[in-house]
Amino acid sequence: MTATAPITQDVHTIPRKLADGPVNLVGLTRDAMRDALIGAGTPEKQAKMRVNQIWQWIYHWGVRDFAEMTNLSKDFRALLAEKFVISLPEVVTRQVSTDGTRKYLVRIAGGHEVEVVYIPETDRGTLCVSSQVGCTLTCSFCHTGTQKLVRNLTAGEIVGQVMLARDDLDEWHTPGQGTGDNGPRLVSNIVLMGMGEPLYNFENVRDAMKIAMDGEGLALSRRRITLSTSGVVPEIARTAQEIGCQLAVSFHATTDDVRDRLVPINKRWNIAALLDVLREYPKVSNSERITFEYVMLDGVNDSDDDARRLIKLIDGIPAKINLIPFNEWPGAPYKRSSNNRIKAFADIIYKAGYASPIRKPRGEDIMAACGQLKSETERARKSRKQIEAETGL
Ligand code: SAH
Ligand code: SF4
């Protein structure tokens, strides 16, 4: 930054720099982008309009090259190219399952890798997005939980996952053609259910989702975005106020004793504390109902008594219970409940008046199901290493 282009004092979000290079515009809030433009020499009076224009190019038209931003002057485009980049995480591999599920292995700054999964259905297309590399929590049935937290993803890396899926699916607006207006969108829903605990990376997740929900950004309704948390109680209230998306909670047990073992954050905020904050969520966020995720573990949490206790606990909360057949991973200390057991459990809940869908594992042939993501990456790494050792490369 030169002396003639001072950085303003009132930055709302510190622009994220790529190492020492130019600032990445992807993931900046509107305010932060405005500050960054002013810092680069844009006259203050023009800054808001410039943000609108650049924002549209990036998030509506999917443009990556400043030269294509034809409603900006040549000089301004040159300035942008000098000071900024429009950069997404890099797709390392893309696998497509026989059921149409796509799994992307994505590399972020520092050489770390996360996975992103696209799940097409007849009435929607859901993108499962990661928020951290690894996780600080240690849920005993989750493979990501056996990984140390490497780092939080930036807002740009989070919203960038949605953008790279749009790239792959060729889903950007083209002048005179449109996309979402002409039919169902390919990426119509986002679930924050990939690697990591989104509420331990609150600001970045919030900024990314604001861009996803912005009418001139990726323009997805907040009703089509679901954030899944293991139960970070203080941040749940903040999510209602500051994001307002749909909420899913990894509930998984009906007694503190069992939940302590499965979801250890329960020792900090127990079932009663979690339920208290969940009761408030729909009112504050004006959302319809909360999804209770419940992984079905053979002989651990899957009895008829568990089902009945669950109904009692959630009494009065508008809810849907999503039953997830456990996805096994090498060395996992649990087994998946039998299909009959899962059905019996679902029936009890359904008869009490709650929707109780059983989550169908998708993309199993490419290891894209819940809780399987990281294991495949590790295996791939290992075999690469083995190959290197064998070939002496
Ligand atoms: N950290 C967040 C979001 C990521 S996990 C959370 O815990 O909610 C997304 C969902 O997959 C959670 O409900 C999680 O409990 C579940 N999950 C993790 N490992 C699993 C496995 N091996 N089989 C089935 N579901 C799993
Ligand atoms: Fe982390 Fe969620 Fe896995 Fe628990 S289930 S270890 S919170 S990613």
Which CATH number describes the domain made up of 23-85?
1.10.150.530
The gap from C-alpha 34 to its chain's centroid, in whole angstroms, comes to 25
| Token digits of residue 72 | 């900006």
Query: Which string of DSSP letters, residue by residue, matches 328-376?
Result: P-TT-S--BPPHHHHHHHHHHHHHTT-B-PBPPP--GGGT-STTTHHHH
113 labelled catalytic = no
Closest atom of ligand 1 to CA, residue 372: 22
22-69: per-residue pLDDT in tens? 999 999 999 999 999 999 999 999 999 999 999 999 999 999 999 999
- Closest ligand relative to 292 C-alpha: 1
Closest CA to 212 of 220, 204, 203, 202: 220
Give me the pLDDT at residue 363, please.
80
> Exposure pattern of 259-294 as b/e (b: 16+ CB <10 Å)?
bebbbebbeebebeebbebbeebbeebebeebbbbb
The closest of 349, 343, 154, 145 to 261, measured between CA atoms, is 145
Low-confidence stretches of the chain (pLDDT < 70) are 1-20, 175-184, 369-393
Which of 152, 230, 293 has most ligand 2 atoms within 8 Å of its beta carbon, as the pocket-test mutant? Answer: 230
**Mutation test of ligand 1: which of 135, 302, 324 has the most ligand atoms closer than 8 Å to its C-beta?**
324
Rounded Cα distance, 214 and 220, in Å: 7
Task: Return the pLDDT at 310.
Answer: 98
Contact 194, 130 (CB under 8 A): yes
| Ligand having the closest approach to the CA of 375 | 1
Q: Quick one: pLDDT at residue 362?
A: 80
Return d(Cα 390, Cα 393) in angstroms, integer. Answer: 8
**Which entry of 135, 139, 245, 370 is annotated as an active-site residue?**
370
* 210-267 pLDDT per residue, tens: 999 999 889 999 999 999 999 999 999 999 999 999 999 999 999 999 999 999 999 9
Tokens of 323: 């039953």
pTM score of the predicted model? 0.89
- Whether 147 lines ligand 2, by a CB cut-off of 6 Å, is no
**Residue 204, phi then psi, degrees to nearest 5:** -65, -40
Query: By C-alpha distance, which of 328, 324, 350, 199 is closest to 251?
Result: 324
Q: Which residue's CA lies nearest to atom 12 of ligand 1?
A: 250
Q: Using DSSP, state whether 202 is helix, strand or coil.
A: helix
* CB of residue 244 inside a 6 A radius of ligand 2: no
Q: Which atom of ligand 2 is nearest to the CA of 143?
A: 3
In degrees and rounded to multiples of 5, residue 168 shows phi and psi of -65, -35
Class of domain 90-391: alpha beta
pLDDT given for residue 374 in this prediction: 57
138 Cα nearest atom in ligand 2: 6
283 CA from centroid of ligand 1 (Å): 26
205 to 52, 265, 282, 360: CA distances (angstroms): 22, 20, 20, 26
- Token match 């600001």: residue? 203
How many angstroms is it from 37 CA to the middle of ligand 1? 40
Q: Where are the domains of the chain?
A: 23-85, 90-391
Set 115, 197, 293, 376: catalytic member: 115
Residue 250 CA: which ligand 2 atom is closest?
A: 5
Answer whether 23-85 and 90-391 agree in fold. Answer: no
Does residue 115 have an active-site annotation?
yes
